[in-house]
């Protein structure tokens, strides 16, 4: 059945309306606000680039952008590094559908818990007298408790935890499409396990890695609650800057920071999609 | 380089009593087989008969539940594929999509860490061998099916294996290309002297290419022999039916004498070579090829089979008849030359054959 133009628009109308009202319009408002200036507690009606100038000449802005990028890159790298072996194990070792579903549910379960609850959970675990520190001390790995809270470490740990399934599943799904006889062919031609992995499995699952990295990176970049609660004000990232400006009614400042965030996300999506297109398809 | 075995030296492969189960099903059921060094051997059978599993056992891709594989007398045990003197061409080819033609073919040599110059020379030679020069830098996806086929062949042969395993490598090609590749494979095998073990479900392919072949069904190896031997002397119903066209005629053994069995069918008696286990009065099946059936106008020799022509089809050099008689259906293919008298539909005829041209295939 082929849908006519009108029917397609009709079917998509609710989604389009939602996008328009909740996304495009606010983005427009943002855009407009970025060309105003906030001074003495109010937004001036005159059109100006002053807010941009102020934002991009302030070293603090670059520190925030730098922190955001560092956090997102660390979380992405960790999620992929931890997630890839999980996906590999799931792909090669777990064959019964029921077992696969159970493990998938387990991996996604953090998403079923409210972000606030989960974050408070990490607060308890990561505290000086918390489970992580006492365990490490019990094992004799550390003498003094290491500080995992209200700094980058705690935020990275917690965000990696929550974003792990977003790294695992794209990789896992690409692995599922991998022709197993490719691995057998490599083995047949004299490759050992390691060489087979390096020359066949890894390059051919690269699209999954890139897709997973893309999702993790953009989600980490826009994470708000975790840096807010676990960063204790010491992990200043872009979403926090936007939030802080907005509660001060400094809409122009928030708008410029927000658009910066958007541009970085778009750039990441564009770059990784370009990479994805150049990778061989399985 | 010196430890490479010389060309023209295919290894002998012995499969001794192997059984492979997948769950409760025995995919390969107590199969024993000796493939001679330098032989073109085919494993033939319908899909699911265990031929591919047998091949994969030889290549080291499947562990067996029982039995052992010997290559040149050496037990393979659990030796992995990368340490066996075998290479395989997969049914789905399994070419590396992220590599060029050259990199695909050079893969095995690189894994052996040979010097670059030798890798280059041997890769070029292999591509020449399969008549694909000049395509080194192409991506796999830019090749036609036939070209991919040749790359897969070159990728295996470049390693100069003692045994080449081929798992229905031509099944994806169209008929014309398939016939051409059949010839080429045979020529290659002859030239290299490598032992080829070729899995196929296409009896024409197996008969045309093989020095010897083995027919499998339901996990069992039913018969091994040269193509003509298997065509002439199938030892059971399945093989008779699977290879070529066959009339399978059920009757009762009348008597066995000097390697011949007389079989009562309906009102007549026919002869066939005995298998050895026939007993007078017991049911027996006779296999006779359609082109061996002689037709005469009715009223011929007493005891011959009486039948009526049901259908006639002319196909150039033979005339094919379908006949029905008392408890009997029969196909006959009579060579045609100008002036040959033809029978018409409805004609009553007698059918017989030289007992040496028919064979008893038991009853199972």
pLDDT of B88 reads 95
pLDDT of A60 reads 93
For B25-35, what is each residue's pLDDT tens digit?
A: 999 999 999 99
Question: If you search the block for the tokens 């998403």, which residue do you land on?
Answer: A111
Contact A179 B92 (CB under 8 A): yes
Is B158 part of the contact surface with chain A (CB cutoff 8 Å)? no
Is B88 part of the contact surface with chain A (CB cutoff 8 Å)? yes
Report yes or no on A238 lying in a domain.
yes
- Determine the Cα angle at B232 with ends B226 and B236, to 5°: 95
Contact A188 B111 (CB under 8 A): no
Is A242 found in the same domain as A115? Answer: yes
Of B102, B79, B86, B234, the C-alpha closest to B155 is: B102
SS3 at position B253: strand
pLDDT of A244 reads 92
Question: If you search the block for the tokens 């509660």, which residue do you land on?
Answer: A247
DSSP state of B130: T
Question: Nearest CB to A182: which of B94, B111, B156?
Answer: B94
| B60: closest chain A residue by CA | A188
pLDDT of B258 reads 85
Q: How far is A171 from chain B, CA to nearest CA, in Å?
A: 17
Question: Nearest CB to A182: which of B61, B81, B96?
Answer: B96
| B107: closest chain A residue by CA | A189
Question: If you search the block for the tokens 């009896």, which residue do you land on?
Answer: B203
Query: Over pLDDT 90: what percentage of chain B?
Result: 68
| B140: closest chain A residue by CA | A280
CB-based contacts of B199, cutoff 8 Å, min separation 6: B42, B43, B51, B52, B54, B55, B165, B166, B167, B168
Report yes or no on A45 lying in a domain.
no
- pLDDT at residue B4 greater than cutoff 60: no
Is B238 part of the contact surface with chain A (CB cutoff 8 Å)? no
Question: Can you state the angle between helices A152-177 and A202-221, rounded to 10 degrees?
Answer: 140
Is A72 found in the same domain as A10? Answer: no
Question: Can you tell me the mean pLDDT for B263-288?
Answer: 88
Contact list in A for residue B111 (CB cut-off 8 A) is 189-191, 195
Give every strand in the sheet of B66-71, ordered side by side.
B25-35, B13-22, B66-71, B74-75
Burial A67-91 (b: 16+ CB within 10 A, else e): bbbebbebbbbbbbeebbebbbebb
Of A156, A165, A164, A170, the C-alpha closest to A73 is: A156
SS3 at position A236: coil
Helices (H), A115-237: 115-126, 131-138, 152-177, 180-188, 193-196, 202-221, 225-231
Question: Can you tell me the mean pLDDT for B123-127?
Answer: 93
Is A233 found in the same domain as A120? Answer: yes
Number of structural domains (chain A) is 2
Report yes or no on A187 lying in a domain.
yes
Structure tokens at A154: 């705690």
| B205 alpha-carbon distance from chain centroid | 7
Q: What mean pLDDT, rounded, does chain B reach?
A: 90
Gyration radius (Cα) of chain B, Å: 25
| Cα B276 to Cα B29: distance, rounded to the nearest angstrom | 25
Q: How far is B149 from chain A, CA to nearest CA, in Å?
A: 14
| Cα B285 to Cα B281: distance, rounded to the nearest angstrom | 13
Question: Can you tell me the mean pLDDT for B200-217?
Answer: 94
Is A87 found in the same domain as A17? Answer: no
Of A188, A7, B11, the C-alpha closest to A196 is: A188
- pLDDT at residue B15 greater than cutoff 50: yes
Residue A167 zone, left/alpha/beta (φ > 0; ψ -120 to 50; rest): alpha
| Cα B248 to Cα B343: distance, rounded to the nearest angstrom | 23
pLDDT of B300 reads 62
The ipTM estimated for the assembled molecules is: 0.81
Report yes or no on A52 lying in a domain.
no
Contact list in B for residue A204 (CB cut-off 8 A) is 97-98
Structure tokens at A161: 């935890």
DSSP-derived pairing of the beta strands B318-325 and B348-352: unpaired
For B111-120, what is each residue's pLDDT tens digit?
A: 999 999 999 9
- Determine the Cα angle at B344 with ends B338 and B346, to 5°: 165
Which of the residues A96, A188, A203 would you substitute to probe the B interface, choosing the one with the greatest number of B C-beta atoms within 10 Å?
A188
**Using beta carbons and an 8 Å cutoff, which residues of A are at the interface with B?**
179, 181-182, 184-192, 195, 199-200, 203-204, 279-282
Report yes or no on A267 lying in a domain.
yes
Question: Can you tell me the mean pLDDT for B45-58?
Answer: 95
Contact B107 A282 (CB under 8 A): no
pLDDT of A107 reads 84
Which of the residues B81, B106, B148 would you substitute to probe the A interface, choosing the one with the greatest number of A C-beta atoms within 10 Å?
B81
Which of the residues B53, B62, B105, B108 would you substitute to probe the A interface, choosing the one with the greatest number of A C-beta atoms within 10 Å?
B108
Question: Nearest CB to B97: which of A181, A192, A280?
Answer: A280
SS3 at position A181: helix
Gyration radius (Cα) of chain A, Å: 23
pLDDT of A2 reads 64
Is A69 found in the same domain as A20? Answer: no
Question: If you search the block for the tokens 């004299």, which residue do you land on?
Answer: A190
- pLDDT at residue A281 greater than cutoff 60: no
Question: If you search the block for the tokens 């328009």, which residue do you land on?
Answer: A20
Query: Over pLDDT 70: what percentage of chain A?
Result: 98
Question: Nearest CB to B98: which of A179, A185, A203?
Answer: A203
Is A116 found in the same domain as A4? Answer: no
Q: How far is A204 from chain B, CA to nearest CA, in Å?
A: 7
For A171-227, what is each residue's pLDDT tens digit?
A: 999 998 888 899 999 999 999 999 999 999 999 999 999 999 999 999 999 999 999
Residue A276 banded pLDDT, cuts 50, 70, 90: confident
Contact list in B for residue A181 (CB cut-off 8 A) is 90, 92, 94
- pLDDT at residue B68 greater than cutoff 90: yes
Contact A190 B112 (CB under 8 A): yes
Query: Over pLDDT 70: what percentage of chain B?
Result: 97
- pLDDT at residue B242 greater than cutoff 50: yes
Is A9 found in the same domain as A85? Answer: no
| Cα B359 to Cα B232: distance, rounded to the nearest angstrom | 8
Is B86 part of the contact surface with chain A (CB cutoff 8 Å)? yes
Is A85 found in the same domain as A12? Answer: no
- pLDDT at residue B323 greater than cutoff 70: yes
Question: Can you tell me the mean pLDDT for A267-271?
Answer: 93
Q: Say what the alpha-carbon torsion angle A8, A11, A12, A13 is, to the nearest 10 degrees.
A: 110
SS3 at position A136: helix
pLDDT of B1 reads 38
Distant-in-sequence contacts of B305-308, Cβ < 8 A, 24+ apart: B305/B265, B305/B266, B305/B267, B305/B268, B305/B270, B305/B330, B305/B350, B305/B351, B305/B352, B306/B266, B306/B267, B306/B268, B306/B348, B306/B349, B306/B350, B307/B348, B307/B349, B307/B350, B307/B351, B308/B346, B308/B347, B308/B348, B308/B349
CB-based contacts of A150, cutoff 8 Å, min separation 6: A230, A231, A232, A233, A234
Is B4 part of the contact surface with chain A (CB cutoff 8 Å)? no
Is A12 found in the same domain as A67? Answer: no
For B292-315, what is each residue's pLDDT tens digit?
A: 999 888 776 667 788 999 999 988
- pLDDT at residue A137 greater than cutoff 50: yes
Is B142 part of the contact surface with chain A (CB cutoff 8 Å)? no
What backbone phi and psi angles, to 5 degrees, belong to B125?
A: -55, -45
For CA atoms B285, B290, B291, B297, give the dihedral sign: positive
pLDDT of A3 reads 67
Report yes or no on A109 lying in a domain.
yes
Question: Can you tell me the mean pLDDT for B195-211?
Answer: 94
Contact A181 B112 (CB under 8 A): no
Q: How far is A177 from chain B, CA to nearest CA, in Å?
A: 13
Is B53 part of the contact surface with chain A (CB cutoff 8 Å)? no
- For residue A193, give the CATH number of its domain: 1.10.3720.10
DSSP state of A222: T
| Cα B58 to Cα B197: distance, rounded to the nearest angstrom | 10
pLDDT of B5 reads 45
- pLDDT at residue B7 greater than cutoff 60: no
User: Are the C-beta atoms of A181 and B92 separated by less than 8 Å?
Assistant: yes
Report yes or no on A44 lying in a domain.
no
Is A8 found in the same domain as A145? Answer: no
Is A121 found in the same domain as A1? Answer: no
Question: Can you tell me the mean pLDDT for B70-86?
Answer: 93
Is A113 found in the same domain as A14? Answer: no
| Cα A256 to Cα A262: distance, rounded to the nearest angstrom | 10
> Residue A3's domain spans which residues?
1-25
Residue A280 banded pLDDT, cuts 50, 70, 90: low
Residues 5-34 on B with a CB inside 8 Å of A are none
Report yes or no on A83 lying in a domain.
yes
| Cα B191 to Cα B172: distance, rounded to the nearest angstrom | 25
Question: Nearest CB to B90: which of A181, A279, A281?
Answer: A181
Is B52 part of the contact surface with chain A (CB cutoff 8 Å)? no
pLDDT of B3 reads 42
Is B97 part of the contact surface with chain A (CB cutoff 8 Å)? yes
pLDDT of A40 reads 85
Quick one: which H or E segment has residue B204? helix B203-209
């Amino acid at each position: 059945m082929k849908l006519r133009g009108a029917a397609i628009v009709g079917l998509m109308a609710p989604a389009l309306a939602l996008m328009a009202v909740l996304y495009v319009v606010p983005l427009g408002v943002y855009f407009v606000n970025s060309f105003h200036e906030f001074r003495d507690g109010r937004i001036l009606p005159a059109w100006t680039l002053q807010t941009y100038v102020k934002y991009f000449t302030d070293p603090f802005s670059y520190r925030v952008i730098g922190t955001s990028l560092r956090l997102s890159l660390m979380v992405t790298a960790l999620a992929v590094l931890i997630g890839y072996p999980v996906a590999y194990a799931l792909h090669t070792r777990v064959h019964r559908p029921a077992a696969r579903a159970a493990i998938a549910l387990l991996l996604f379960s953090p998403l079923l818990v409210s972000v606030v609850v989960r974050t408070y959970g990490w607060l308890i675990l990561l505290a000086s007298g918390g489970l992580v520190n006492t365990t490490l001390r019990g094992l004799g790995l550390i003498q003094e408790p290491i500080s995992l809270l209200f700094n980058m470490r705690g935020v990275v740990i917690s965000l990696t935890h929550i974003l792990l399934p977003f790294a695992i599943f794209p990789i896992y799904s690409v692995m599922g499409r991998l022709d197993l006889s490719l691995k057998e062919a490599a083995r047949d031609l004299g490759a050992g396990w390691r060489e087979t992995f390096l020359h066949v499995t890894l390059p051919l699952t690269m699209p999954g890695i890139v897709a997973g990295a893309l999702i993790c990176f953009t989600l980490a970049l826009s994470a708000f609650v975790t840096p807010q609660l676990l960063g204790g004000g010491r992990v200043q990232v872009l979403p926090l800057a936007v939030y802080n400006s907005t509660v001060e009614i400094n809409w122009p400042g928030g708008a410029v920071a927000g658009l910066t965030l958007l541009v970085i996300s778009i750039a990441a999506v564009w770059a990784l999609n370009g990479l994805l297109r150049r990778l061989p398809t399985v | 380089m010196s430890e490479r075995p010389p060309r023209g030296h295919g290894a002998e492969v012995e499969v001794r009593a192997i059984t492979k189960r997948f769950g409760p099903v025995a995919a390969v059921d107590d199969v024993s087989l000796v493939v001679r060094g330098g032989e073109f051997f085919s494993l033939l059978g319908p899909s699911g008969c265990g031929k591919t599993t047998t091949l994969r056992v030889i290549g080291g891709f499947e562990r067996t539940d029982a039995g052992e594989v010997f290559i040149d007398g050496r037990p393979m045990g659990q030796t992995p594929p990368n340490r066996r003197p075998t290479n395989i061409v997969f049914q789905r080819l399994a070419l590396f999509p992220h590599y060029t033609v050259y990199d695909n073919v050079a893969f095995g040599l690189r894994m052996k860490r040979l010097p670059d110059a030798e890798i280059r020379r041997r890769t070029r030679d292999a591509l020449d061998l399969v008549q694909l020069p000049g395509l080194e830098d192409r991506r796999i996806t830019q090749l036609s099916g036939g070209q991919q086929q040749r790359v897969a062949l070159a990728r295996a042969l470049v390693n100069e294996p003692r045994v080449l395993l081929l798992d229905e490598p031509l099944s994806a090609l169209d008929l014309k290309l398939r016939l051409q590749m059949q010839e080429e494979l045979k020529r290659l095998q002859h030239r290299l002297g490598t032992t080829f073990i070729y899995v196929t479900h296409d009896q024409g392919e197996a008969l045309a290419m093989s020095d010897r072949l083995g027919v499998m069904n339901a996990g069992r190896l039913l018969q091994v022999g040269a193509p003509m031997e298997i065509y002439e002397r199938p030892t059971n119903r399945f093989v008779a039916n699977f290879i070529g066209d066959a009339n399978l005629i059920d009757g009762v053994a009348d008597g066995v004498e000097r390697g011949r069995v007389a079989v009562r069918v309906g009102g007549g008696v026919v002869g066939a070579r005995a298998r050895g286990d026939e007993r007078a009065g017991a049911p027996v099946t006779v296999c006779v090829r359609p082109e061996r059936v002689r037709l005469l106008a009715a009223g011929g020799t007493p005891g011959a089979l009486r039948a009526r022509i049901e259908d006639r089809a002319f196909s150039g050099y033979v005339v094919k008849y379908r006949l029905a008689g008392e408890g009997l259906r029969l196909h006959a293919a009579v060579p045609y030359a100008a002036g040959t008298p033809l029978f018409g539909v409805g004609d009553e005829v007698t059918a017989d054959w030289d007992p040496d041209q028919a064979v008893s295939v038991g009853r199972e």
